[in-house]
Amino acid sequence: MACKLNQQCGQRRRDDGRSHEYSGYTVDTPVLESAVYSPLQIVFGQPRYPSVFDRAAALIVNVAKDHPFGDGNKRTALALGLRYLRFYSQRVVPPTAEHGANLVESAVLSQPRDYDSTIRSTSHTLQQWAAPDQTALKHRHIHLK
């Protein structure tokens, strides 16, 4: 799926209708596999990323920072993370191009020592973009009382 999303980078349009610059498709398969499997890590018998939002955040951060593709890594990372959430039945209001770019850019520019806090902050942003269904809203209301 990641490769397919990256190949579509050349077809993506900016808000003004112009297409994004894209130099073509190449992939470093071992780097991509490492980035894609990173959200599934088990540490001391427990998932390193317990929530679906944490796993999507790890996916976004790792694909964006590790650069497995020749071009379109940030766009692919965001699209892959949002697709991951939809796969797990999380409704997400698609961010504006600017908000999406800001999220991924902040992850890319983060320092290695800030990795865990970058995952947490990315996860938090993804949760803010989530559009809970009526059942989730009802449960949130019950827990707030």
Question: How many CA atoms lie less than 13 Å away from 6 in the CB half-sphere?
Answer: 22
pLDDT band at 8 (very low <50, low <70, confident <90, very high): confident
Phi-psi region of 20 (alpha: psi -120 to 50; beta: other; left: phi over 0): beta
| pLDDT value of residue 142 | 46
Query: Is 21 exposed, middle or buried (CB count within 10 Å of its CB: 0-12, 13-18, 19+)?
Result: exposed
Q: What is the mean pLDDT of residues 1-16?
A: 68
Q: Which residue has the tokens 């077809």?
A: 11
Nearest Cα to 74, choosing from 22, 119, 123, 126? 22
Question: Structure tokens of 78?
Answer: 């965001």
- Least confident stretch, 4-8, 9-13, 95-99, 140-144: 140-144
| pLDDT of 143 higher than 60 | no
| pLDDT value of residue 66 | 93
d(Cα 71, Cα 85) in Å, to the nearest integer?
A: 23
Q: What is the mean pLDDT of residues 95-117?
A: 93
Helix axes 52-66, 73-87, angle to 10 degrees: 160
Q: What is the mean pLDDT of residues 19-25?
A: 61
What one-letter code names the amino acid at 2?
A
- pTM as predicted: 0.79
Instruction: Give all domains of the chain, ordered by start, each with its CATH number.
Output: 2-12+25-144 (1.20.120.1870)
* Dihedrals phi, psi of 90, to nearest 5 degrees: -95, 120
